[in-house]
A and B are shown apart, each in its own frame.
Chain A
Amino acid sequence: MKKRISLILVFTLGLISITHAQLAVKADTIYTMAGSKVVDGVILINGEQIEAVGSSSDVDIPGNYEVHETSVATPGFIDARSVVGLAGIYNQDQDQDQLETSNAIQPELRAFDAYNAREELVKFVLGKGVTTTHTGHGPGALASGQTMIAKTAYNTVEEALVDSATTVAFTLTSGVRRNFDKPGTRSKGMAMLRQKFIEAQEYAEKQNSDDPPSSNLTLQAMADVLNGKLTAMITAQRAQDIMTALRLQEEFGFDMILDGAAEAYMVLDEIKASGVPVIIHPTMVRTYGDTQNASFSTAGKLHEAGIPFAFQSGFEGYVPKTRIVLYEAAIATAYGLPREAALQALTSSSAQILGISNSVGSLEEGKDADIVLFDGDPLEYTSHISAVIVDGKVVKGN
């Protein structure tokens, strides 16, 4: 019985550990993701930021710093595309806010109006090393709404927000027609999106005229994609849908991230030439429907081609309710992706693609103290996360 109680305690992910202003992490290996790894290294944390990183011979630990010893330290992981906080653990109507089906084009829907910072899955992924999540509206509508970036270790969206509006999530897959009467085909979906972008262009032009139009949230959000305030994140899995997404980008010239990209390996040259980064589908995505042709080796091929990419947990409609980016990266390493490239895609590349690399994604002086502590190889199945540090606060791993 005692064992059972202690297990329950372990299962309960304690968020509130003691907040320490001054910490030191001593690790056999530190993957800083800024230059080469540091062997026998030290990370000093002062307040919410990293104060110093280096080998133990170069960085002295002041006597009053609380020391955490570990085998491996990496930057906190950045889940490059999630729905946690909008899509909840119960998978019941009342906790599923990632897809609004009243209209196929609703780019004005703001993620932070629906984000539940206390959602159990947010805390669950935190325990798996995700310190920053790019989350919000899911795939399934031509324009399902906006996304945001949050730190996972806070209890209100206001505290958690890193970026309140990051992308508009667009979808060009055969799945859209299941959620709407219109569009019913791929071609119709593309025509509807092009029409809306053209309206947004006209809307933006009129805003600068003597007779500005009355405010329209939908067109404003589309115009913000066109003017670069928001990035277009387009979910496309089939090769022809990837090409359609690139065609749309070329026509309207917006900043774009390609999401999913299950058949990216068929059009690597075209993706590379477009300069568009990829948030690759979860490696273990189920191989049916639009992701039927997904391959374990796609992340490795993107790396080989020199296309910037990051890992995502994605959207799951059943069990498991969310995937874990660390685990998705691990499978990719068994199928051709070098280990350090996998860590990069979980941290620094993800930060660069999302435009937050000034504060997170690597362990460097002045950056946020977001760190994951492992008792072994981070990508090995049997390794444990002993602790996660977010903005200098220590959270128990799981």
Chain B
Amino acid sequence: MNRLFIILLLILVVPSITFSQQTPQAFAGAKIIPVEGEPIPEGTLIVENGKITAIGPSSDVSIPGDAQTHDVSGKVIIPGLVDSHSHIGSGDGGDRSSAMHPDVRILDSIDPRSDTFKKALAGGITTVNVMPGSGHLMSGKTAYLKLREADTIEEMLFVDDPTNGVAGGLKMANGTNPIGEGPFPGTRAKSAAMVRELFIKAQNYKQKLEQADGDTEKMPTRDLGMETLVQVLDGERVVHNHTHRHDDILTAIRLSEEFGYRLVLHHVSEAWKVPEEIAKAEVPASIIVLDSPGGKMEATDIRYENGAVLEEAGVTVGYHTDASITDTRLFLRSAAFGVRAGMSRDAALKAVTIANAKMLDLQDRVGTLEEEKDADFVILSGDPLSTYTRVQQTWVEGQKRFDISNPDDKKYATGGYKVFERATQNHHHGRH
């Protein structure tokens, strides 16, 4: 092989593999909003090996000699957005054979190449809780995903072992969506009874496990659904509960208290009617902004003010896209609408970052810009809560995943002919 060819090969291939991993990258001159701590008017962010190694005022942060420096003066840097409730990735969930599928994992059905991920990156989203639908009391196990470049779902997970690790939460729903003809419950009271019955079974299963104490002779027969619910009872797996009406919210809280599991309320359309009760239960709320109320009976009393009312009550409150119910490209708009309806800027920005990270037990990895956290961040053209601001770049663990100056990326921000060819509306809410 001739020498020139080898040199060319080295120049072309080596940097793309190693430099982006190894070389420190410095982002200098931007206004940095770390979300935890005060905004830095003119700051520098340094990332290396997928982690944040330094952040602070440009005057205080020294850029390593070997760093690749990006001049981002005039821009605004915020943490990568965390979406606590989404249906991107073309996954599915439980089927119609039962109202409860604690055995089912959505990660077995997600398409890592789905362009819905590219659409989300165009909106600055870097971490997502991908959930099965709300047409079941339990529709399956959710998956917490990092929007890395990936050919396999394993490369997107936060856990190394998808089978033995806890890769997500458990999706539950109450109210009208899971109600239907057998084997689905016909009423709200029956819904609660079915859930309680299954959790009592899980308590018994857990007791047998504990009594067996590792003795294979005494172990109960393996049951995937029961194993999931034991994780829930042990607090290792969080329940993400779809709920709209105020009485359904209280039912979700009641069941979580009876069985002592960790709960995140989702949608919570009538949160404004029971903010003190939610606060007292110390349950976080992942809420949605809908431009208008209605479309289903349970959402006729949804209010823009939910975020402000929950903040005032002291509840940890996050926004979610429920994609494709709202557009992942416009996730920051939900935070802005929270502010429009009385929420503080600080709480609104937390609501699309660290508050959601906490709901997914990922607060040590993502949600703020702090040293040692994952290098997930978004470079914006201006204020995060302005209509006119556009996402310029989205970085995930030190890798650039969206760049508006690249037409192949920009098309996912704008849309157009055959851009979303693979993005089908395959998510069903409620009966089908």
Contact = CB atoms under 8 A, between A and B. Distances in A.
Interface stretch (A15-23, A87-95, A108-116, A364-372): A87-95
A101 B117 CA distance: 37
A286 B414 contact: no
A382 B296 contact: no
B414 A320 contact: no
Contact of A296 (B295, B299, B415, B425): B415
Interface in A158-214: none
A321 B294 contact: yes
B257 interface: no
A307 interface: no
A300 to B, nearest CB: 10
A4 B303 CA distance: 13
A319 B305 contact: no
Contact of B385 (A88, A90, A382): A382
Contact of A293 (B324, B388, B419): B419
Contacts of A384: 340
A333 B388 contact: yes
Contacts of A322: 291-292, 294
A178 B18 CA distance: 53
B330 interface: yes
Contacts of B415: 287, 293-297
Main secondary structure of the interface of A (DSSP, over half): loop
B305 A382 contact: no
B293 A321 contact: yes
Interface in A291-320: 292-297, 316-320
B73 interface: no
B425 A319 contact: no
B420 A381 contact: no
Interface string B342-368: 000000000000000000000000000
A383 to B, nearest CB: 7
A225 B395 CA distance: 55
Interface stretch (A35-43, A245-253, A323-331, A387-395): A323-331
Range, interface on chain B: 35 or more
A263 B417 contact: yes
B3 interface: no
Contacts of A263: 417
B367 to A, nearest CB: 22
A90 B298 CA distance: 9
B233 interface: no
Which of A289, A292, A324 has the most C-beta atoms of chain B within 10 angstroms of its own C-beta? A292
A11 B324 CA distance: 27
B421 A292 contact: yes
Given A287-B423, A293-B418, A381 B333 contact: yes
Contacts of A335: 414
Contacts of A333: 387-388
Given A124-B293, A318-B296, A382-B336, 15 more contacts: A4-B272, A7-B305, A89-B293, A91-B296, A92-B297, A286-B425, A287-B420, A288-B324, A288-B425, A324-B292, A335-B414, A381-B385, A381-B387, A382-B339, A383-B340
Interface of B: 272, 275, 290-297, 299-300, 303, 305, 309, 312, 324-325, 327, 329-330, 333, 336-337, 339-340, 385-390, 413-421, 423-425, 429
26 contacts: A4-B275, A89-B294, A89-B295, A90-B300, A91-B297, A120-B293, A120-B294, A124-B292, A265-B417, A286-B324, A288-B420, A295-B414, A297-B415, A297-B416, A317-B295, A319-B290, A322-B292, A322-B294, A323-B291, A323-B292, A334-B388, A334-B389, A380-B387, A381-B337, A381-B340, A382-B385
